[in-house]
Structures are given as C-alpha cells and as structure tokens.
Amino acid sequence: MRVNGLHYKTIWMEGPVVHMIDQNKLPFEFGVHTCKDYQSTCKAIIDMTVRGAGAIGAAAGYAMAQAFMSGADPHTAMQLIMSARPTARDLFYAVEKVYAAGQVSVKLAEEVAFSVALENEEAGKAIGIIGNELLMDGFRILTHCNAGWLAFVDYGSALAPIYAAVASGKNLHVYADETRPRGQGARLTAWELSNELVPHTIIADNAGAMLMSKGMIDMVIVGADRIAANGDVANKIGTFEKAITAKYFNIPFYVAAPTSTIDLSISSGNDIIIEERSTDEMLWQTGIDKNGEKHTIRVANPGSNAWNPAFDLTPAELVKGIITEKGIFDYSNISAITNLNTIRS
Ligand code: MRU
C-alpha cells in the first residue's frame, strides 16, 4: 500500500527487529514503531500500536520468532503473546505454527513467522480478486471498523475487493462507520481510502439503518476476528447491528476473512472470548484541534461508569457469504468450510 508515494506493509521483520506502522498515531501522524524483543512486540499488540486480526497474527508470529532468536524461554513467551488479545484467531494460529517450528530449529521458527505473514498478505490479495467479482460498477458499500491493509500485512480483507474493483476501473463509494469508541473507521479506513483515492464518506455508527432505508447501500462488507465452526462471526462491536439491519432491508451482508480466521475447535460463536477493553477508550477521546495540536478530552459525564466490549457475534444466518482466499462460502454449507480447513492443515 502506498503512503506518500512509497510502498509500505503494515508490519515486517528485519533480523530480530519487528517494524510496524504505528496505528495509534494515524491519521494525524505517520510513523514506524520498532520492537527489538518479543516483549515489546507483545506490548504493541496490547496497546494496539498494531491491530486488526491479520496484522496481530503476523505480529504474534514474529514475536514468537523473536523469543526463539533471543534464547528466551519459548513457553513463557508463548503464554505472554497468547494473553495479549483473546478474540482474533490469527494470533493463536501464528503462535502455534511458529512455536511448533521452533521445536525443530530457531531458523525454522523465523522462516515460519515470515511464511505466516506472507500467507496473510497473499490471502488478502486473493480475497480482493475473488471479492471484486461481487461488486458492480456504481456500488455503494458500507463497512465497519478497519478491515483494510492496516488490519493485515497488506491488501486487507473487507477493503481488498474494493481496492481491486477500483483498480479494475469500477466506480465505487464507501461509507465508513466511525466505529466508536476507538474510531478505526473514521481514523484508519478513511485514511487508507484517501491514500488510495477511493471516494468515501464517514458516517456515524448509528446512521447505517437510515442510509439503507433510503436505498443508499448496495452491499455491506466487514472483516472477522474469529469465525466458529457453525459460521458465527466475531468482529468489531457494532457489526451485529449492521447485519440485522442489512437483513431487514434485504441488503447482502458479506464477511471477508482468510481461512486462518476460521476456528473449527469452536462449535458456535458463544464459545468465542469477547475482549473487554478499558472504559477510558469510551470516556476519553484524543484528536487534534484546528491548529494541529493533539489533545485528550473527556467526552462523557464525569463520574459515570461505562462498559467496553470490543467485539460482538453475528449469527451465521445473517451472513450471505464469507469471502476467503479459496472462494466464497455459503454458511448453509458448513461442510465446505470443514473441507477447506482440512485442505489447509
Ligand atoms: O480491535 P481491532 O481494531 O483489532 O479490531 C479489528 C476488527 O474488528 C477488524 O474488523 C477485524 O480484525 C477484521 S480485519 C482483519
């Protein structure tokens, strides 16, 4: 993905050092954060310097490789990395693979960490090509959170078909939900779409039904953090509401995700751990003033309590299809997903 004319990946490793675009600084400042050891890569996952299922998967794989490369106790490292964020399947997928490789050799651990990141990048590219087939010229697409290249190593999941469609000459318009409380839509999706010159409009999280009722949305595409064996989808809080609303208005609701996000060990979405984050994310907001000066201000009643679940569960029956790197799957055909994973492993 291009930033000021230069190609960047969201995260990469050189020697034992992990580099990542600092997503907490965007969109007001562009910077690359470096992590010299697995503990600092782990901290970057926790404080969301790197975020989005695919990107934290790559980060977790690199962190596990850093642990082997530094001679740290791999089991302690694995436990620390796996406790960084609970919901995204890709984090566990990457750590399990790199940990197993590290039992063979440090070199193999490093190689597998690179291959997990490459797999994520290639999946994003394929999701873009496959998902593009669903998009008609002139489509207006609603998306939630940021499931773009910042949430992956490159390309993204929900935004990948949009980038592929625009590159193939289709005119699209994207409506990006703000995605409170952290504002991944308003801050990150909007920044990405601006860089790629994709026409877009930021809307309030509660505006989706109004737009759909006016016939202003042709399709909803979101990403996923974990997909259970029955097809239930965990994704950013607010996704479920969009799926219900899309069903009401008979608008196709698609999930785009690599097969590494599918977790067959979990029979339904009820078994997915939903991360709860600090209520400070809701009660306080950081932004810039008209002079470009950064401020953090309280935006809620002083003294009131809050609750901040970061994800919700969308039942499989609300999802028209899941766009993966291996094709588009209908959730009524769960065995297809099973076969898919059998092939992958
Ligand atoms: O809390 P975040 O910003 O890591 O949540 C990200 C999302 O919910 C994305 O929609 C999801 O990771 C899918 S894109 C890989």
Convert the pLDDT of each residue in 73-103 to its tens digit: 999 999 999 999 999 999 999 999 999 999 9
Q: What's the whole-number mean pLDDT along residues 186-202?
A: 97
Distance of CA 106 from the midpoint of ligand 1 (Å) = 30
Q: What is the pLDDT of residues 309-322, one digit of tens each?
A: 999 999 999 999 99
For residue 338, pLDDT beyond 80: no
Task: Indicate if ligand 1 lies below 6 Å from the C-beta of 147.
Answer: yes
Query: Is 217 near ligand 1, meaning CB less than 6 Å away?
Result: no
Residue nearest to atom 8 of ligand 1 (CA): 236
Average pLDDT of the chain is 95
Task: Give residue-wise pLDDT tens across range 208-256.
Answer: 999 999 999 999 999 999 999 999 999 999 999 999 999 999 999 999 9
CB 44 within 8 A of CB 17: no
> Quick one: three-class SS letters along 183-245?
CHHHHHHHHHHHHCCCCEEEECHHHHHHHHHCCCCCEEEECCCEEECCCCEEEECCHHHHHHH
**Tokens representing residue 186 in the block:** 């308003």
Please report how many Cα atoms fall inside a 13 Å half-sphere around the Cα of residue 4, on the Cβ side: 4
User: Does this model's pTM top 0.85?
Assistant: yes
Q: How far is CA 331 from the centre of its chain?
A: 21
Non-local (6+) Cβ contacts of 18 within 8 A are 11, 12, 34, 35, 41, 44, 59, 62, 63, 66
Confidence of residue 335 (pLDDT cuts 50, 70, 90): low
pLDDT of residue 2: 83
Determine if the peptide bond prior to 181 is cis (ω within 30°).
Answer: yes
Task: Categorize the per-residue pLDDT at 341 as very low, low, confident or very high, splitting at 50, 70 and 90.
Answer: very low
The predicted-structure confidence for 111-145, as pLDDT tens digits, reads as follows 999 999 999 999 999 999 999 999 999 999 999 99
**Choice from 51, 120, 142, 205 to test ligand 1 binding pocket (greatest atom count within 8 A of CB):** 51
C-alpha to C-alpha distance for 270 and 329, rounded to whole angstroms: 21
Question: What pLDDT score does 345 carry?
Answer: 28
Handedness of CA 115, 121, 122, 123 (dihedral sign): positive
Active site amino acids: 225
- Check pLDDT > 90 for residue 344: no
Q: What is the distance between the alpha carbons of residues 288 and 278, in angstroms, rounded to a whole number?
A: 22
Q: In Å, how far are 87, 240, 318, 338 from 315, measured between CA atoms?
A: 16, 8, 6, 18
Mean pLDDT of 163-188: 98
Going along the chain from its start, the domains and CATH numbers come out as 2-124 (1.20.120.420), 135-342 (3.40.50.10470)
Give the C-alpha separation, 323 to 144, whole Å.
16
